Amino acid sequence: MTERKTIVSVKGLTKTYDNGHQALKGIDLDIQEGEILALLGPNGAGKTTLISTICGLVSPSDGSVSVAGFDIIKDFRKTRELIGLVPQELTLGAFDKVINTVSFSRGLYGKPADTALIDNLLDELSLGDKKHSMVQQLSGGMKRRVLIAKALSHEPRVLFLDEPTAGVDVELRKDMWAIVERLRQSGVTIILTTHYIEEAEEIADRVGIISGGELLELEEKQILMSKLGKKRLVIELKNPVDALPAELDEYGLTLSGDGTKLTYTFDARQERTGMTSLLSNIATAGLVVKDLNTQQSSLEDIFVDIVAAEA
Amino acid sequence: MNTEAVKAIYKNEMRRTRNTLLQSIAAPVISTALYFVVFGSAIGSRIESVEGVAYGAFIVPGLMMLSLLTQSISNASFGIFFPKFTGTIYEVMSAPVSFFEILLGYVGAAATKSFILGVLILITATFFVDLRIAHPFWMIGFFLLTCVTFSLFGFIIGLWADNFEKLQLIPSLIITPLVFLGGSFYSVDMLPAFWQKISLLNPVLYLISGFRWSFFEVSDVQVGISLSMILLFLLVCIAIVWAMFRTGYKLKP
């Protein structure tokens, strides 16, 4: 992954809105070609401001952004041609046919009309039979697909999806993930913002965690999870106990209701996890271990920890 | 220059017109026809000719101006206000288009609609009155300049307005009174001396006067002054739009 070419480079990006709200506080971020990057963060974290700035919808206060080596302000034509944006809101003109609004997008990006390409795109997004429908007659999920079709109509190399599955039912969310996966296979770099951890966990290669206008973490998903993840060791005892023996006080164990399971939480980042001494102390206390089981914490646990630590 | 984008915006706007053909074209034509019936035929038949021109014909340039001004402003302001209102403007703002190209697309389409409308009104007028056009080239010149200038003005209003009330405010509170008091239906010579002087402060008077001169060679002010005034207004609009775009006014936080 790391040898991949950087396609979007964000350096020291800050944004302070006119009302004084500082939405971005010095973001540095390199996005690699062909990856799926999930930007995870609570509402108001600055995710949308970040991608809006890269796409040219918001003027940066300081710092710079380049796409494929071109500056987003000086060479805005070159950078924007490479980018497609699917906004968070279902913003579509009410009185347009699907085919017209998608063709309009292509023209706007300076590409000559290409009926075959648009037809193909609509088919891929299961919009083929809705080609001549008015957009206001479509369901929310279909509208989302139309927005994706619009964003892809000019064959961008980088696609930004702002909360693609916000307020979308499970079925459609799975659909959306499949679409994203297909796009990745076609070589498109995808950046999506989300506040659904499971979404990042499911489809992203790398996860960036944004909170309060700062990029707190940026790691490959597995590394982030193992690096930051707390692990739980569940110890199953042969014979139930009524209370924890005094020898085990220092480990902060929890005992299950039936007295057969001890749970030990430890930090996988630490050199010494304390597991060995725990197990020997268990033996000293005269308990017999029946089974051992460790569990990785989910991205959600990690996320809550990081954001809580910053607050 | 992203000509595909200009074409896309222009075509999209023209398609919007076709979808709302009745409202965009038929309504203004019908209301103009009503003006002809009421002012031209019913009342006009009792009015002697004005400066040697039959009253029905005399009001044609004024009526055209009335429609051109109000429709240019309403088309162009709505054209840019609506995507702002629905949020679809995001796409134009994130596309590889310059502000000039956006302007060309939207204002070009609005001006085209006004031009078509003006031609239709002119044709409608020939059913009611005997028309002659003394200086066709000047007539077309004033006609086009007015379409472009007031579409530009409408575009400014559409950018500035952040609600429907503001969108209607300037057209109904300022433009309509200026057009009615600018000599659409009369020659300012008919007014008392004091009101004649006041009328000279009305920029629309110069437009109507110049336009009427191109038809009948009668005017309230010299045609050169008329032309200068409309060019001046065009320059003012261009300057305002340029300043708005430089600062990303209300489009780009």
* Structural domain contains residue A1: no
Assign residue A38 a region (left: φ > 0; alpha: ψ between -120 and 50; beta: otherwise): beta
Contact A110 B4 (CB under 8 A): yes
Higher pLDDT, B151 or B46: B151
Rounded to whole angstroms, the Cα distance separating B137 from B142 reads 9
Q: Which of A177, A197, A226 is the last residue of a domain?
A: A226
- Are residues A160 and A20 located together in one domain of the fold? yes
In this complex, the residue of A58, A81, A150 whose CB is nearest that of residue B96 is A81
Measured between alpha carbons, how far is A188 from A152 in angstroms, rounded to an integer?
Answer: 10
Q: Give the pLDDT score at B229.
A: 87
User: Based on the domain organization, do A215 and A297 belong to the same domain?
Assistant: no
Please judge whether B96 and A110 are an interchain contact, meaning their C-beta atoms are less than 8 angstroms apart.
yes
- ipTM score of complex: 0.82
Does A162 lie in the same domain as A61?
yes
The residues facing A21 across adjacent strands are: none
Of A226, A254, A285, the last residue of a domain is A226
pLDDT, position A269: 67
Q: Do A56 and B93 touch (CB under 8 A)?
A: yes
Residues A115 and A182 in one domain: yes
Among B177, B227, B224, which Cα is nearest to B202's?
Answer: B177
In a domain, B252, yes or no: no
Contacts of A50 in chain B (CB under 8 A): none
Distances (CA, A) of A87 to A106, A159, A161, B91, B225: 16, 11, 7, 9, 50
Is there a single domain that holds both residue A187 and residue A249? Answer: no
Asked whether residue A109 is assigned to any structural domain, the reply reads yes
pLDDT in tens, A201-229: 888 999 998 888 888 888 888 887 776 66
Q: CA torsion sign, B84 to B88 to B94 to B97?
A: negative
Structure-token pair, residue A212: 């309060």
Measure Cα distances from A300 to A14, A104, A173, A200, A257 in Å.
27, 40, 18, 10, 26
Query: Rounded to 5 degrees, what are φ and ψ at B252?
Result: -135, 110
Does the structure show a pLDDT above 80 at B49?
no
Helices (H), ranges, A153-257: 170-185, 197-203, 221-228
How close B14 comes to chain A (CA, Å)?
12
Question: Which residue matches tokens 């007031």?
Answer: B150
* Interchain contact, A111 vs B4, CB within 8 Å: yes
Whether residue A284 sits in one domain with residue A216:
no
CATH number for the domain spanning A51: value is 3.40.50.300
Q: Which residues of B touch A112 (CB under 8 A)?
A: 4
Half-sphere exposure of B97 (CA within 13 A, CB side): 30
Percentage with pLDDT > 90 across chain B: 25
Query: What gap in Å lies between CA B24 and CA B117, rounded to an integer?
Result: 9
Residue pair A129/A80 in contact (Cβ under 8 Å)? The answer is: no
Clarify whether residues A102 and A126 are in a common domain: yes
Q: Do A104 and B8 touch (CB under 8 A)?
A: yes
pLDDT tens, residue by residue, B103-143: 999 999 999 999 999 998 888 888 888 888 889 999 999 99
One domain, residues A176 and A262? no
- Distance (Å) from the C-alpha of residue B217 to the closest C-alpha of chain A? 45
Check residue A221 and give its pLDDT. 83
Going by C-alpha positions, the residue among A58, A64, A63, A49 that lies closest to residue B253 is A58
What one-character-per-residue DSSP string does B40-55 give? IIIIGGGSPPBTTB-H
In a domain, A38, yes or no: yes
- What chain B residue is nearest to A94 in terms of C-alpha separation? B86
A238 and A217 within one domain: no
- Rounded-to-10 torsion of CA A299, A55, A125, A40: 10
pLDDT beneath 50, residues of chain A: 1-2
Residue A136 Cα, gap to closest chain B Cα (Å): 12
State the distance between the two ends of chain B, measured CA to CA, in whole angstroms.
25
Residues of A in contact with B15 (CB under 8 A): 100
Chain A nearest CA to B82, separation (Å): 9
Average pLDDT along chain B: 86
Are residue A207 and residue A168 in the same domain, yes or no?
Answer: yes
Domain count for chain A, please give it.
2
Instruction: Please tell me the distance from the alpha carbon of residue A153 to that of residue A156, in angstroms, as a whole number.
Output: 8
Query: Are residues A206 and A245 located together in one domain of the fold?
Result: no
What does the radius of gyration of chain A's CA atoms come to, in whole angstroms?
Answer: 24
Task: Give B92's contacts in chain A (Cβ within 8 Å).
Answer: 108
Residue with the larger pLDDT of the pair B150 and B250: B150
Confidence tier at B221 by pLDDT (50, 70, 90):
confident
Pick from A119-128, A267-276, B159-168, B181-190: least confident? A267-276
- For Cα atoms A111, A113, A118, give the angle at the middle one, nearest 5 degrees: 100
Instruction: Give the mutation candidate from A108, A132, A160, A161 for the B interface (greatest B CB count, under 10 A).
Output: A108
- Smallest Cβ–Cβ distance between B252 and the set A58, A92, A104 belongs to A58
Encode pLDDT of A38-50 as tens digits: 998 888 888 999 9
Overall number of domains in chain B: 1
pLDDT at A91: 81
Chain B residues within an 8 Å CB radius of A80: 94-96
Write out residues 264-303 of A within 8 Å (CB-CB) of B. none
Task: Read off the tokens for B192.
Answer: 């008392």
Question: How many other CB atoms are found less than 10 A from the CB of residue A162?
Answer: 23
Chain B residues near residue A106 by CB distance under 8 angstroms: 8
What's A233's domain CATH number? Answer: 3.30.70
Identify whether residues A73 and A170 lie together within a single domain.
yes
pLDDT for position A70: 93
Considering only CB atoms, B5 lies closest to which of A18, A78, A110, namely A110
Q: Range of B56's domain?
A: 3-247
Residues of B with a Cβ under 8 Å from any A Cβ are: 2, 4-5, 7-9, 11-12, 15-16, 19, 82-83, 86-88, 90-97, 248, 252-253
Estimate the crossing angle of helix B55-86 against helix B27-35, to 10 degrees.
150
Would you state the structure tokens that stand for residue B11, as one six-digit string?
Answer: 């075509």
Backbone Cα Rg of chain B: 19
The single residue listed with the structure tokens 């297909």 is A182
Give me the domain span that covers residue A299: 229-310
Of A193, A226, A259, at which residue does a domain stop?
A: A226
A108, containing H or E segment: helix A98-108
Pick left, alpha or beta for residue A13 (phi over 0 → left; psi -120 to 50 → alpha; otherwise beta). Answer: beta
Structure-token pair, residue A135:
């957009």
Query: Following DSSP, what letter does each residue of chain B receive, concatenated?
Result: --HHHHHHHHHHHHHHHHHTHIIIIIHHHHHHHHHIIIIIIIIGGGSPPBTTB-HHHHHHHHHHHHHHHHHHHHHHHHHHHHHHHHSTHHHHHHSS--HHHHHHHHHHHHHHHHHHHHHHHHHHHHHHS----S-HHHHHHHHHHHHHHHHHHHHHHHHH--SHHHHHHHIIIIIHHHHHTTTSSS-GGGS-HHHHHHHTT-HHHHHHHHHHHHHHS--SS-HHHHHHHHHHHHHHHHHHHHHHHHHTTTT--
